[in-house]
Amino acid sequence: MSEKRYFPALNDVMTAEHTLKEILEPTPLLHNRTLSQKFGANVALKREDLQMVRSYKIRGAYNKIRSLTEEQRSSGIVCASAGNHAQGVALSCNKLGIVGKIFMPVTTPKQKINQVKMFGGDQIEVVLSGDTFDEANAAAEATCLKEGKTFIPPFNDPKIIEGQGTVGLEILQQSSTAIDYIFVPIGGGGLASGIGAVYKQMSPHTKIIGVEPAGAASMKLSVERGEVTSLQEIDKFVDGAAVKRVGDITFDICRQVLDDIVVVPEGKVCSTILNLYNFDAIVVEPAGALSISALDYYAEQIKGKNVVCVVSGSNNDIVRMEDIKERSLLYEGLKHYFVVRFPQRAGALQDFVTNVLGPHDDITYFEYNKKTNRDKGPVLIGIELQNPDDFSGLTQRMLEHNIDYQYLNANPSLFEFLIG
C-alpha cells in the first residue's frame, strides 16, 4: 500500500491563520496604479514586505514553532539561514520564550546578523559557521543530533507550508473581485505550495504562476524532469529565492497547483527594483521583485484581468543598490564594457571621445596601465548609453576609426574576471 501524499488541507491552513493572529496583523492588498496602467489590468500587490520582519517567512516559522510539544520547546530549536527565515525564527523564539540557535554563514552581511539578534533578543544565539548556506545547514543539523534539539526547516515542512498558505487566505478575504492570476516567487517552494493549495481548493479558476530567478530555477527544472533535481551551480544574487534543491514535499505540491513557472533574468529583477522605488517609492529585495518582473511575460494574457503579485520581502541591504543599478543597466543594454587598445601617443583618448562617442554616451569606467616598449596600451572602459539602440552606432564608429577593441559583455568569463 502506497504512502498517502501530503497536501495542505484548508482546515489546517485556517488553523494556522488563527495561530498567527497571536502575533501578526494581515498585510494589505493594495491596488497599484502604475502597473495597472502599464498592463491594462487591475494589478494589486500583496505587501508581505510590510511584515514585522519584512517578509512572509514569519508565518511559516511561527506556525511550525508554535506546534512543537512542550518537550521539544524546552529542548530548544535550531535553524540555518542567511536571511528572512532566520529573522522569522528569531522573532518566534522571542515571542514564545523558546531558546534557539541560528546558524548563519560567516559571509553573512553584518546588517542581517544584527537584524536577527534584534528580533531574537536574549532567546537566540547566532552561530557563524562555514562560508556557504550548505555548510551552515550541515552544522545546524549536526547540532540537532548532538544536543537533541528540533530543526526548523525553511520550506519543506507541512506546518511551514500551512503558515505560508495563510497569505492565500488573506488575499481571498481582502479581494472584492475574483482573482484571475496570482504571481508567486519560488525559492524552496513553501509559499507557492501554500498559496497554490488554498486557491486550487477555494478558487480553482485562478491561475497560479510561479516565478524563479534564471540563475536558480530549481523548481522549473524539477517539474520538467518529473523529479526533484539539484542544481550544480546557482547565481546567489536573488538570495531570497536562490535554492539549489527544492523540497520533496513542496515539489510534489507545486507540480499539482502551479499553472506555469516563469524564469526571470536577474538583470530584469534589478530593473523592477529600481522602477518600484522610482515610481511607487516601494523598497523591495530581489526576491520581492520576482512576481512583478514576470508580468511582462504575461502581458497579453492579463489584459483586462484581476492580477495579484505577492511582494515577498524587503530585506535589502542599502550597499547593494550600486550593484542592482549596474545589473539593470547591463540587462537593459545601456552599459557596455570594452578593452580598447589605444595607440600610446598624446591625443589618442581625445580622438576616441570626439570621433567615436555619441552625443549622449558617457564614459563611466576607465582603467589604464601604461605599457613600456609597446605601441598600444590596453584600457578597460565602460560606456553608458541613453538608449540601447545607440549601441550599433557606437560599434560602427569604432570600426570606421579602426579602433582595436574587445567587447566584454559578450564574453561572460572575461567579464567576470575583469569587472567582477
pLDDT tens digits along 50-98: 999 999 999 999 999 999 999 999 999 999 997 899 999 999 999 999 9
Q: Has residue 195 got a pLDDT over 80?
A: yes
Task: List Cβ neighbours of 164 (8 Å cut-off, separation of 6 or more).
Answer: 56, 59, 60, 190, 191, 193, 194, 195
The 10s digit of each residue's pLDDT in 307-333 is 999 999 998 888 889 999 999 999 999
Delineate the domains of the chain, giving CATH numbers in brackets: 10-56+161-325 (3.40.50.1100), 77-148 (3.40.50.1100), 333-418 (3.30.70.260)
Catalytic pick among 46, 55, 57, 314? 57
- HSE-CB at 209 with a 13 A cutoff on CA atoms is 25
- Residue 165 identity (one-letter amino acid): G
Report whether 57 contacts 286 (CB < 8 A): no
**How far apart are the C-alpha atoms of 85 and 228, rounded to whole Å?**
22
The 10s digit of each residue's pLDDT in 204-262 is 999 999 999 999 999 999 999 999 999 999 998 998 898 899 999 999 999 999 999 99
Query: pTM of the prediction?
Result: 0.93
Catalytic pick among 218, 222, 312, 314? 312
What do you get for the CA distance between the two ends of the chain, in Å?
Answer: 54
Active site residue 57: yes
**35-58: average pLDDT:** 97
DSSP designation for 123: G
What's phi and psi for 290, nearest 5 deg? -60, -50
Active site residue 230: no
Question: Considering the chain, what is the average pLDDT of its residues?
Answer: 94
Report whether 144 contacts 78 (CB < 8 A): yes
Report whether 66 contacts 328 (CB < 8 A): no
Q: Has residue 4 got a pLDDT over 60?
A: yes
